[in-house]
């Protein structure tokens, strides 16, 4: 047996395994960052109007990515390339779907549904829809382990979010449709990440999609909240509540809108839409852990079981089917 016959395939397999581990690591870090986002958004919205918070979050994130892209021109992950005109429709669809459409639909879904718990549960179902969109739009192969892992993990999410809740009333049934529409928008954005030419760095993809989203957000902000915010912000900026809100917005800008999105985009393009979105199920688990560690919340046994199911389901989702030699 020659060197090429033995060592070259072995080296290729080792390189593939390292890439998979890096992708999983990137997904876990992005989910840890996003698991804090809900807490930060809640504190920011206590002071700032919603569209003001969104504009204050994404304008600096786009500028930050522009600076990073110009500095790191030789980095495969952080360089910023010029958009090809033929790829403009792809970025328009991605930017319209998320953040813009997702945030809009999510807000109205929370308003239409009586229970925030029901809303959070419905909005965490992206792993269930991902295999459908990935198979139809990308022809991605979905294995039985992907399906079983997603189902087990999603059952864990339901146990984690619904255990101990006393309000299961639905409210306006349009809220259910809005929640699933929001999830669909997020999954379509994931599909666009996968369809984007690999010549674009992860930073380039996130930069252009957030820039497109701002083109939709800023006119609405100017009409609904802009003049009042421009007048009020200088007056209230030294208040302690406003400083806490601005600190939360800074976290959302740097970590949630830049670092987490870039890491998620990198990982998704390595492992695919189905496996990447399966990791969204661990966000509620991390959020629950932060509530225990920093807010002294006590969780019932059912929630611990839910977290265990989520983690076990992710392990199952990452398992590979044995390929028969026959």
pLDDT of res. 7: 40
* DSSP letter, residue 280: G
Decide if 301 is inside a domain: no
Q: Kindly report, residue by residue over 180-196, the tens digit of the pLDDT.
A: 898 899 999 999 999 99
Q: Kindly report, residue by residue over 153-181, the tens digit of the pLDDT.
A: 888 888 877 666 555 555 667 877 888 89
Mean per-residue pLDDT of the chain: 83
- Tell me the mean pLDDT in the region 133-149: 86
Spatial neighbors of 202 by CB under 8 A, at least 6 apart, are 77, 78, 262, 263, 265, 266, 269
pLDDT of res. 10: 39
pLDDT of res. 16: 62
Count of domains forming the chain = 1
**pTM here?**
0.84
Q: Which of 56, 57, 87 has its CA nearest to residue 260?
A: 57
Decide if 199 is inside a domain: yes
Q: Kindly report, residue by residue over 57-90, the tens digit of the pLDDT.
A: 999 999 999 999 999 988 888 899 999 999 999 9
Judge whether residue 35 has pLDDT over 80: yes
- Number of CB atoms found within 10 A of residue 40's CB: 21
Judge whether residue 252 has pLDDT over 60: yes
Decide if 193 is inside a domain: yes
Q: What percentage of the chain exceeds 90 in pLDDT?
A: 36
Q: pLDDT band for position 3 (50/70/90)?
A: very low
Q: What token pair was written down for 245?
A: 């809100």
Q: Kindly report, residue by residue over 271-285, the tens digit of the pLDDT.
A: 889 888 888 888 878
Decide if 110 is inside a domain: yes
Q: Is 199 helix (H, G, I), strand (E, B) or coil?
A: coil
Decide if 181 is inside a domain: yes
Decide if 196 is inside a domain: yes
Judge whether residue 56 has pLDDT over 70: yes
Domain span holding position 79: 29-142+168-270
Decide if 78 is inside a domain: yes
What's the distance, Cα to Cα, between the start and end of the chain in Å? 23
In whole angstroms, how far apart are CA 272 and each of 29, 102, 126, 267, 314? 17, 21, 14, 8, 14
Spatial neighbors of 102 by CB under 8 A, at least 6 apart, are 182, 185, 186, 189
pLDDT of res. 275: 86
- Tell me the mean pLDDT in the region 194-203: 91
Decide if 238 is inside a domain: yes
pLDDT of res. 67: 95
Q: pLDDT band for position 33 (50/70/90)?
A: very high
């Amino acid at each position: 047996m020659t060197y090429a016959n033995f060592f070259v395939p072995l080296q290729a397999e080792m390189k593939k395994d390292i890439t998979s581990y890096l992708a999983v690591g990137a997904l876990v870090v992005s989910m840890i960052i996003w698991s804090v986002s809900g807490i930060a958004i809640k504190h920011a919205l206590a002071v700032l109007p919603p569209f003001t918070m969104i504009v204050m979050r994404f304008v600096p994130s786009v500028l930050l990515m522009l600076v990073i892209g110009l500095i790191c021109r030789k980095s495969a992950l952080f360089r910023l390339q010029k958009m090809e005109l033929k790829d403009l429709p792809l970025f328009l669809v991605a930017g319209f779907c998320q953040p813009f459409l997702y945030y809009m639909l999510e807000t109205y879904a929370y308003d239409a549904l009586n229970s925030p718990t029901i809303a959070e549960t419905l909005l965490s179902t992206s792993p269930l829809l991902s295999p459908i969109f990935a198979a139809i739009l990308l022809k991605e192969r979905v294995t039985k382990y992907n399906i079983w892992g997603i189902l087990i993990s999603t059952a864990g999410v339901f146990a984690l979010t619904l255990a101990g809740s006393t309000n299961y009333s639905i409210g306006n049934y349009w809220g259910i449709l809005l929640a699933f529409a929001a999830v669909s928008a997020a999954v379509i954005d994931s599909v666009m990440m996968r369809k984007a030419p690999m010549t674009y760095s992860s930073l380039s993809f996130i930069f252009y999609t957030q820039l497109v989203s701002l083109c939709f957000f800023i006119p609405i902000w100017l009409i609904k909240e802009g003049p009042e915010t421009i007048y009020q912000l200088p007056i209230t900026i030294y208040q302690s509540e406003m400083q806490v809100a601005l600190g939360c917005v800074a976290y959302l800008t740097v970590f949630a809108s830049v670092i987490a999105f870039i890491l998620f985009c990198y990982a998704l393009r390595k492992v695919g839409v189905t496996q990447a979105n399966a990791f969204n199920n661990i966000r509620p688990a991390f959020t629950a852990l932060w509530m225990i560690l920093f807010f002294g919340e006590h969780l019932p046994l059912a929630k611990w079981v839910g977290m265990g199911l989520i983690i076990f389901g992710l392990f199952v989702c990452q398992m590979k089917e044995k390929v028969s030699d026959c």
